[in-house]
């Protein structure tokens, strides 16, 4: 039940064509869905000009095709994350305007101009070259959401001077995302340098006792730098979305 339907119901009460009991009956069953729709409306408003986002993982090719076809028909932009190359190739055949980034494993279909948003650029910092896929997922997500992104790559703590050389980029960012595998120490160092919101992303880069990113995750959760927050291992998308939540505050 949307606002128009609600208005009609009230008008019917006003006109006398619906008595109070009948109206009550309908309103008592006011489906949560409608409240939900209201919530979705807020979301829709929020997402204006923003992409539909689809988690590609664990969806079959036909499922993805069906979903994207429906969504693309609405004319908006589409972002598919965690999409493997094989399914991407098939989808690119069907949607020639779509672009697949094999590092980030994202497919993007841009059908309308992305409206810039956010109070400032988001810096996406990757400790090593192996962390780039996760960083790229964050970058692409942010750009699809309208944010400006500055990428800083290969500034691991074992060569800390490389990081310091990029300090300006960090200082001018509105939000900083730090992506690191292995010991996950980079966010601690960056967090001590800046007062900006910082989102740390552990990656599964490493072997043996990296335990698929757990070492990096624990490093970040136990950071001695105050006020660092963390997302799931390899969750570049989640970090980007968290940065989006922060960066749109006060700007729209």
- Residue 157 CB neighbours (<10 A): 18
**72 or 243: CB nearest its own copies:** 243
Give me the 219-238 binding string for its own copies, x by CB under 8 A, dash otherwise.
Answer: xxxxxxxxxxxxxxxxx-xx
User: What is the closest distance, in whole angstroms, from the C-beta atom of residue 96 to its own copies in the complex?
Assistant: 26
Beta bridge partners of 101: 106
Q: Which is nearer to its own copies, 46 or 97 (CB)?
A: 46
Judged by CB under 8 A, how many residues of this single chain contact its own copies? 113
Smallest gap from residue 28 Cβ to its own copies (A): 7
Does residue 110 contact residue 75 with C-beta atoms inside 8 Å? no
Distance of CA 51 to CAs 2, 82, 146, 179, Å? Answer: 24, 16, 9, 23
- The single residue among 137, 146, 217, 236 that binds its own copies, judged by CB under 8 A, is 217
Contact set for its own copies, span 5-24 (CB under 8 A): 6-7, 10-11, 13-14, 16, 19-20, 23-24
* Among 5, 57, 84, 112, interactor with its own copies by CB under 8 A: 57
Indicate whether 69 belongs to the interface with its own copies (CB under 8 A).
no
Q: Mark out the alpha helices in 16-166 (DSSP H runs).
A: 20-28, 32-47, 61-73, 85-94, 132-144, 160-164
DSSP alpha helices (H): ranges in the chain?
Answer: 3-15, 20-28, 32-47, 61-73, 85-94, 132-144, 160-164, 167-172, 186-193, 214-221, 236-248
CB of 109 vs its own copies, minimal distance in Å: 19
Q: Which of 39, 89, 90, 97 binds its own copies (CB under 8 A)?
A: 39
């Amino acid at each position: 039940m949307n606002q128009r339907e609600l208005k009609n119901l009230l008008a019917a009460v006003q006109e006398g064509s619906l008595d109070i009991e009948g109206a009550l009956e309908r309103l008592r069953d006011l489906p949560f869905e409608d409240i939900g729709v209201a919530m979705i409306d807020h979301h829709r408003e929020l997402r204006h000009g923003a992409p539909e986002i689809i988690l590609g993982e664990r969806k079959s090719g036909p499922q993805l095709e069906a979903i994207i076809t429906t969504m693309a028909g609405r004319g908006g932009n589409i972002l598919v994350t965690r999409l493997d190359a094989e399914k991407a190739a098939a989808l690119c055949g069907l949607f020639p305007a779509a672009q697949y980034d094999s590092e980030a494993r994202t497919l993007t279909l841009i059908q309308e101009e992305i409206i810039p948003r956010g109070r400032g650029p988001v810096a996406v910092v990757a400790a090593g070259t192996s962390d780039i896929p996760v960083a790229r997922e964050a970058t692409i997500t942010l750009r699809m959401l309208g944010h400006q992104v500055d990428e800083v790559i290969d500034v691991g703590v074992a060569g800390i001077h490389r990081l310091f050389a990029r300090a300006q980029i960090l200082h001018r960012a509105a939000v900083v995302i730090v992506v690191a595998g292995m010991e996950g120490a980079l966010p601690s160092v960056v967090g001590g340098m800046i007062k900006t919101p910082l989102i740390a992303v552990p990656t599964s880069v490493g072997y043996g006792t990296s335990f698929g990113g757990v070492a990096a995750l624990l490093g970040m959760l136990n950071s001695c730098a105050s006020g660092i927050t963390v997302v799931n291992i390899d969750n570049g998308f989640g970090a980007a979305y968290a940065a989006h939540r922060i960066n749109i505050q006060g700007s729209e």
